[in-house]
């Protein structure tokens, strides 16, 4: 049961961080393009790649803390459900180019950043 509470607490922190970063990013960009969600998704992809490699070997972390970070914090922090809704809204509003850009940037750049995070962690901690 402790594991569940740790994950829930980390999830609450991830949700608050998601809201803060997405809000600040969107305000700074001053556009209707969903920059806030894109920023959070890309950062989440990088972090899950980086931490995924670290937790797979070189750094021994208790299972409940691994779950807290990967499932709780990053699960609440990343926003692919918002991504889906915002992309649909762009399409629904006739902004096909912006919708396509959001799909390509979120998926291609997200996958690339998982790779970068993984390789950076591998380089820093040896592998």
Q: What confidence tens digit (pLDDT) does each residue in 82-109 have?
A: 899 899 999 999 999 999 999 999 999 9
> What is the average pLDDT score of the chain?
93
Using 50, 70 and 90 to split pLDDT, how confident is the model at 81?
confident
CA–CA gap between residue 49 and residue 42 (Å, rounded): 11
CA distance 26 to 94: 21
3-class DSSP assignment, residue 100: helix
In this structure, how many other beta carbons lie within 10 angstroms of the beta carbon of residue 61?
13
SS3 for the chain is CHHHHHHHHHHHHHHHHHHHHHHHHHHHHCCCCCHHHHHHHHHHHHHHHHHHHHHCCCCCCCHHHHHHHHHHHHHHHCCHHHHHHHHHHHHHCCCHHHHHHHHHHHHHHHHHHHHHHHHHHHHHHCC
Tell me, what's the pLDDT at 79? 81
Q: Is the pLDDT of residue 58 over 80?
A: no
Residue 64, token pair as written in the block:
């409940």
Confidence of residue 111 (pLDDT cuts 50, 70, 90): very high
How far does Cα 20 stand from its chain's mean position? 13
Q: 40-56 pLDDT, tens per residue?
A: 999 999 999 999 889 88
Confidence check: pLDDT of 127 > 80: no
> Mean pLDDT across the stretch 64-86?
90
């Amino acid at each position: 049961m402790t594991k569940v509470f740790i994950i829930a607490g980390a999830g609450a922190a991830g949700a608050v961080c998601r809201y803060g970063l997405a809000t600040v990013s969107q305000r700074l960009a001053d556009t209707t393009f969903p920059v806030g969600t894109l920023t959070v998704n890309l950062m989440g992809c990088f972090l899950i790649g980086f931490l995924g490699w670290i937790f797979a070997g070189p750094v021994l972390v208790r299972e409940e803390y691994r779950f807290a970070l990967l499932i709780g914090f990053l699960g609440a922090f990343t926003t692919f459900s918002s991504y889906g809704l915002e992309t649909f809204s762009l399409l629904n509003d006739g902004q096909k180019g912006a919708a396509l850009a959001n799909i390509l940037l979120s998926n291609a750049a997200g996958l690339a950043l998982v790779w970068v995070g993984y390789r950076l962690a591998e380089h820093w901690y040896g592998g």
